[in-house]
Structure 1
Amino acid sequence: MDSKDTLLQLSKTMPKTELHLHIEGTFEAEQMFAIAQRNQVPLKYQSVEALKAAYQFTNLQDFLDLYYQGMSVLLHEVDFYDLTMAYLTKVHEENVVHVEIFFDPQGHLSRGVAFETQITGIYRALQDAQQQWGMSFKLIMSFLRHLSEESAFETLELAKPFLNWIDGVGLDSSELGHPPEKFLRVFEACQALGLKVTAHAGEEGPPEYVWQAIEQIKVDRIDHGNRALEDEKLVAVIKEQELTLTVCPLSNLKLCVVNDMTDHPIKDMLALGLKATVNSDDPAYFGGYMQANYNALINDSDINKAELYQLAVNGITGSWMDQELKYQHLDTLKSLFS
């Protein structure tokens, strides 16, 4: 049996992918404070230390309040570039070789920040990371589910001049009361444009929301999916369709989706043959980036070498990267674990 130290070292050296990451959720307190000062945007916190203290929230609403406060300082293309590049630099140091990141245009459009301003800053950082480090990427435009279908359609219209930069669309924000079927027509329009589709489902919402994501929205991937395990038939369908689950361990712990990391269902998902992956969600707020999530699973959930390998494999095969790149990273993984 391999020691935890061996597994931790393997997790650090193996090529990793991140498939569930909200770029606005990577806003570290120091950077938020600095950009707020640069743009002369008042925050209700008088110092970085006071802002950091606010990061110790205890419920979803406090997190969302802080999350949207952070977004308010992003006004110019350079702000979106700096935010994205700071994240990419961190995960490059953790041997993340491929990222698929969400951005929330509606959260910025409502503040008068143009779609072009947002996406140009984000995309330029992604291109620079690819050029500097060979990090591949996909960009996912996410719709906010607490807003209307009409707002989502308006956002899609604004996105059309930039479709060559956008690889897929997602659905995030408060899940309860906003089932996937609310956005059925929007996702049909996105698929007609050739975009991949994913949706947050089964984090706080019931298994029914996962059913809707699969049967009505026809998702290519499921974000979170924890509560799918409550329904055996649903598990069978997810397995049959080989749908990837983008699981976020530390996020689940911080938002009390699980009470303790020892209770995390990711081992059960693997045992059931589901394509679970490890991701960080909103790492600045939820306790850490990719390596911290792997560390937590190894230290507290007792995943073994075979499970660690499978999680890494799932992250590669479940990504939307080119097939040739997948083979390269899978070969690297295989040699590391042999």
Structure 2
Amino acid sequence: MRSVFLALLVAFFATGVAAHVARSNSLRDEKLTFNPTNVHVKRLAHTPRTLTNAQRLARGLNPARPQLRSSRRLAGRGGPSLTPTTTSTSTDTPTGTDTTTSTDTPTSTDTATSTDTPTTTSTDTTTSTDTATSTSPTPTPTCTAHTGVLELTGGSYNGYVSSETNSFGEYSVTTDASEALQVQYQECDGAVSYGPINFKTLNGLSTYPYLGGIVGFSSSSDNLASNSPNYVYLGGTQESAAGAPPQRGANSFSAASGTAKDYESAIWSVDPTTGAFTAHWVNTDGTSSAPTIMVVQDAIVLTDDTFRFIQTYGDAVIVSLTFAESSSAAVPPQATSSA
């Protein structure tokens, strides 16, 4: 009888402990979700893919070819004749006076008067006007705008960072080159581009024109470090200074989800030889992290500890990014920030 009682008591405690663990795990999983759940997301505006020639030139791109609205040839327009006009008048009078007037464009006038008197008068008048306009030379631009796309490879992925975002304002992946996100950075005064620098998006989110990192929804802080599953999304942000810690302000994730999160934009480096595209995140205490880039669900994220992240949020694929340059052009400083 006693043994039966002890068995029932052990079973009771075991059941209670299992229920507590299951309930704790359920609450933990519900809290630590990669993206928020049961929220109404706001649709964000994207930059039109067709840019005006002024916008293209400001971004260091070549002008687009003109589109003819009609196949009919344009009729020639009438204009003034380019043939010079010459007028000559000769008059002979009994008094011995001979006057000749000749006009040829450009204007030149010669007048001669002769009479049969002891006094002879000769007048030669020439009028010439030459006007030259000079302007000061335009200062030579000191910056080069580099434009291209971000190739994404790793695991089963072989594509590009997409110009489209998911419903939470996070950039995703595409295999269609025509849908790739076009980015641009400036290299000024011969400085190398190892970074960290800002990358502007040309056909991404119009209100948030910089490619930045946005603190993840379930990150416990703004810091990326080992032994932490914290992460940041790739999304659209405003511009932040190189070396600055996370900033409070407008970004695509906060606008879409309604959840305020901090961001950084000047976190990128690109190898000018290989195009290798890497990130450098600045923590709130000034220390920095060189996070790994991963694809999770339909988003691209950065994390310092891939093991802790996968253990917490599930499967992820480690990928690498490469800047594939399509064009470059000399521009005045800050020309890439104009729309």
TM-score band w.r.t. shorter chain: under 0.3
Higher helix share: 1
TM-score, reference length from structure 2? 0.24
Higher strand share: 2
TM-score, reference length from structure 1? 0.25
